[in-house]
């Protein structure tokens, strides 16, 4: 890796002469990955995003070859329908600077990008290289699919322009994204944005943050940092308020 690249306007990295070659390469990969995502968003003039998280394992109802999470395929259907309604609203109301973004892979991510695709809305996928599950889905154009090696940078881009999050049931990756978001809002590191957890049965069985408040581990007010929703219609009505605020250039925080 040449020193010219280290000093290029693209990366503008100021590295110590004592930095090892391995660490220099690592820093460059981080910088390039960050810049690739920035270029994608900027080239599309994206100012606001709605992030949709969820498991890569939840199959489409019609997926006859699925072996996991078969009893959760209703979440795929609902994510697809919700993204369709959101994408349709965004396109019909000329919100050209607003995009739906997903993890870019299968499961709930595919469902959301599929619904957006059906609505004529070009969603953006933030893909991640992992040993299992993650793969590109066919409902995101190649120029709108960003490949990440680093979870940290991927999460930063999920949230950098976010005006709302919808979180469907998922495993460790989904929960990591959810709790990082709640932590950043709680600590004032990012503006308070609406966070919707989709699927009352799942989330009420899995998570009771009221226990943390009872133990004094979080403030009582922190239990209101997210809202549980249970239907596409309920979620869309809440999200419509977010989109209307964007139309009116209103601060939601």
Q: Tell me, what's the pLDDT at 11?
A: 47
Residue where the block lists tokens 């793969």: 135
pLDDT value of position 2: 40
pLDDT of residue 16: 64
Q: Where are the alpha helices (DSSP H) in the chain?
A: 3-6, 21-43, 73-92, 108-118, 151-160, 172-186, 200-206, 210-214, 232-247
Query: What is the pTM for the complete model shown?
Result: 0.88
Residue with tokens 């322009």: 161
Domain spans of the chain, in order of start: 16-247
Quick one: pLDDT at residue 131? 60
Of 33, 57, 51, whose CA–CA distance to 132 is shortest? 57
Give me the tens of pLDDT residue by residue for the chain, a chain 253 residues long. Answer: 344 443 443 445 566 666 777 787 888 888 888 998 999 999 999 999 999 999 999 999 999 888 899 999 999 999 999 999 999 999 999 999 999 999 888 999 999 999 999 999 999 999 887 665 556 678 998 889 888 888 899 999 999 999 999 999 999 999 999 999 999 999 999 999 999 999 999 999 999 999 999 999 999 999 999 999 999 999 999 999 999 999 887 544 4
Q: What is the pLDDT of residue 135?
A: 60
So what's the pLDDT on residue 142?
Answer: 83
pLDDT at position 7 is 41
Q: What is residue 141's predicted lDDT score, i.e. its pLDDT? A: 85
Q: Does domain 16-247 have CATH number 3.40.50.450?
A: yes
- What's the rounded Cα separation, in Å, for the pair 26 and 21? 9
């Amino acid at each position: 890796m040449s020193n010219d690249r280290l000093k290029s306007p693209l990366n503008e990295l100021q590295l110590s002469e004592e930095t090892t070659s391995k660490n220099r390469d690592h820093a460059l990969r981080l910088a390039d990955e960050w810049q690739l995502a920035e270029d994608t968003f900027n080239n599309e003039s994206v100012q606001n995003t709605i992030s949709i998280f969820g498991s890569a394992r939840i199959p489409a109802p019609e997926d006859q070859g699925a072996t996991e999470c078969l009893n959760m395929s209703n979440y795929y259907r609902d994510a697809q329908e919700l993204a369709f309604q959101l994408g349709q609203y965004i396109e019909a109301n000329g919100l050209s600077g607003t995009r739906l973004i997903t993890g870019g892979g299968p499961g709930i991510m595919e469902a959301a990008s599929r619904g957006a695709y059906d609505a004529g809305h070009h969603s953006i996928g933030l893909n991640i290289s992992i040993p299992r599950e993650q793969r590109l889905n066919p409902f995101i154009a190649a120029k709108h699919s960003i490949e990440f090696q680093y979870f940290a940078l991927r999460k930063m881009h999920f949230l950098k322009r976010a005006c709302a999050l919808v979180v469907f049931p998922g495993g460790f990756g989904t929960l990591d994204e959810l709790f990082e978001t709640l932590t950043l809002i709680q600590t004032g590191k990012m503006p308070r944005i609406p966070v919707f957890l989709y699927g009352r049965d799942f989330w009420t069985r899995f998570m009771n943050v009221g226990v943390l408040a009872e133990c004094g581990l979080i403030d009582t007010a922190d239990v209101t940092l997210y809202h549980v929703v249970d239907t596409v219609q309920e979620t869309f009505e809440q999200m419509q308020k977010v989109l209307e605020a964007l139309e009116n250039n209103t601060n939601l925080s």
